[in-house]
Chain A
């Protein structure tokens, strides 16, 4: 079993829909990252969380440390949100990251 599990693996949505991507992990962490990878391959960091909730524009990320679970929400989804969303966790006392396999999101007009 992977230490970081994402669901779903693939997700399609109509423009305007509310989207949720989930991430569960089984190790102790110091922080959790949500990343976005576009078809060209470059990766952008969306959020880094160690507790609670963060919001940036239409994106919201939450984390529940006790349940070892995080969610990424996209409100009013748009075709330009189509990308692979990757969850990664930083272990305690280390700079190493453990990555999930990603969720491929396609938003259709």
Chain B
């Protein structure tokens, strides 16, 4: 079945370490997104990508990095520069409305909960 897969579901990190969260989709979607969710707050956009080999900073990109070498994959690295990385991270994908044909419906992964020890 088509879908979007995030891993790991839970991750613990020591201060000063970089960690990479995986996001893979087999929906043939052009657009992929990384969001951060903190208690009591709406989802905040970290990075997004509308096409392979291109990505844009979102509202809270500092301390994060991404790559989009393949259409299916959009990994997020939480670097040691991110001051408060403990959060719930969600990856999503959709057909880009900038494409000729699109539905725009969003599909989300199950999320990755990162805790810094």
Residues of A in contact with B (beta carbons under 8 Å apart): 2, 4, 30-31, 33, 35, 40-45, 48, 86, 88, 90, 93, 95-97, 99-102
22 A–B contacts from the bound complex (CB under 8 Å): A31-B97, A35-B108, A41-B37, A41-B88, A41-B113, A42-B108, A45-B105, A45-B106, A45-B107, A45-B108, A48-B104, A48-B105, A48-B106, A90-B104, A95-B33, A95-B50, A95-B94, A95-B98, A96-B58, A99-B35, A101-B41, A102-B42
Across chains A and B, the number of contacting residue pairs, with CB separation under 8 Å, is: 65
Known: A35-B106, A101-B42. A95 touches B96 (CB 8 A): yes
At the interface, yes or no: B111 with Cβ under 8 Å from chain A? yes
Distance A42 CA – B1 CA, assembled complex (angstroms): 17
Do residues B43 and A86 form an inter-chain contact, with CB atoms below 8 A?
Answer: yes
Known: A95-B50, A95-B96, A96-B48. A42 touches B105 (CB 8 A): no
- Interface SS majority for chain A: strand
The interface residues of chain B lying within 8 Å CB-to-CB of A43 are: 90, 92, 108, 111
Distance A104 CA – B40 CA, assembled complex (angstroms): 10
The interface residues of chain B lying within 8 Å CB-to-CB of A99 are: 35, 42-44
- For B110, the closest partner residue in chain A by CB is A42
The interface residues of chain A lying within 8 Å CB-to-CB of B44 are: 99
- For A2, the closest partner residue in chain B by CB is B42
At the interface, yes or no: B45 with Cβ under 8 Å from chain A? yes
